[in-house]
Amino acid sequence: MEITAVAVSLKKKRGLTYYSGNYDQFARQRAAARAVQAAAAKKQDARRAHLQS
């Protein structure tokens, strides 16, 4: 389903994130950003566990 939008903005705790393009592009960009954040958190948790052992 293709929905046309000029821009999508998402309010977060740290500010406003701006996504250009349609909703499908927004969803892909947001999913990619969340995957990067999840990988960084996993790496940080592994590093923390290593340092505490």
Confirm whether pTM is higher than 0.75.
no
The rounded distance, in Å, linking the Cα atoms of 4 and 17 is 19
The rounded distance, in Å, linking the Cα atoms of 21 and 7 is 6
> Is the Cβ–Cβ distance between 10 and 16 less than 8 Å?
yes
Quickly tell me which residue has 């566990």 as its tokens.
49
For the chain, the farthest-separated pair of C-alpha atoms sits apart, in whole angstroms, at 51
CA dihedral in degrees (12, 15, 19, 24; nearest 10)?
0
pLDDT at 35: 97
pLDDT in tens, 21-38: 888 888 899 899 999 999
Task: List the domain boundaries for the chain.
Answer: 7-52
